[in-house]
Amino acid sequence: MNNTRTKNALITGASKGIGKAIAIELASQGINISINYNNSKTEAVELQAQLKSDYNIESCVIKGDVSNKEDCYNLVETSIAKFGSIDILVNNAGIIDDSLMIRMHDDAWEKVIRTNLNSIFYCTKPALKSMLKNKWGRILNIGSVVGIRGNIGQVNYSSSKAGMMGFTKSLAKEVATRNITVNTITPGYINTETVDVLKQEQKDTIMKWIPQGHFGEVEDIAHLAGFICSEKSNYMTGQIISVDGGMAI
């Protein structure tokens, strides 16, 4: 691939939180962004305006529920139709639906697995064709520290994120000779809406698990994502990188 060509990224769940921070980081590198959202249209449109104003890059806003296979395909097709290629795919969208295993409804298991794990297959497979054509690509999955260490009440979420790590290592081997890298970042507890809704008692308990003694910020994830998705990370693939204040130690 001509490395001077403007690159194009698709980020799932990009309207808020970690996804938004990654979109801003990549846009600061001059990368065009496809902003996927499911329910947060206002935030997605506002982000699009921000990226244009601050970085003068092109972007598009694409509605899609990544728990739906057809929506995944449409995200990729729409992004390629807009920009001509997908060079960078960030599988960021995810949900939680917590409950003890004995009380967990089947729907809670299936929805979390479809959204967090099945989606990365159905988004990555068509995007990979574009990367193979250009002989360059970056696939970045956003996992979780609980995929490494588990967590009470999150057998569905932990399973989905653990599966993501196996996906990462296997696909990295398949495309290693094609100048395409596949990596996963496993965030710990980051100051997002998911953490904001926790009770103070829960926050205090979690804080005891974190050697650094504080929650992370979305920029802590985004800065690493910017490196992994850049030309500078050519020799890094199949890696699971924790950004969690030492929680996974």
Residues noted as catalytic: 157
Tell which residue, 220, 227, 42, 12, has the closest CA to residue 124.
12
The helix/strand/coil state of 193 is helix
Q: What is the DSSP secondary structure assignment for residue 181, as one 8-state letter?
A: E
The CA-based dihedral angle spanning residues 196, 201, 206, 210, taken in that order and rounded to the nearest 10 degrees:
100
The CA-based dihedral angle spanning residues 221, 236, 123, 53, taken in that order and rounded to the nearest 10 degrees:
50
Residue type, 210: I
Distances (CA, A) of 180 to 39, 73, 77, 127, 141: 31, 20, 20, 12, 14
Q: How far apart are CA 149 and CA 158, in angstroms?
A: 8
Tell which residue, 23, 136, 36, 15, has the closest CA to residue 85.
136
Q: How far apart are CA 155 and CA 123, in angstroms?
A: 24
> How far apart, in Å, do the first and last CA atoms of the chain sit?
39
Q: At what angle do helices 69-83 and 119-134 cross, to 10 degrees?
A: 30
- Cβ neighbours around 72 below 10 Å, total: 27
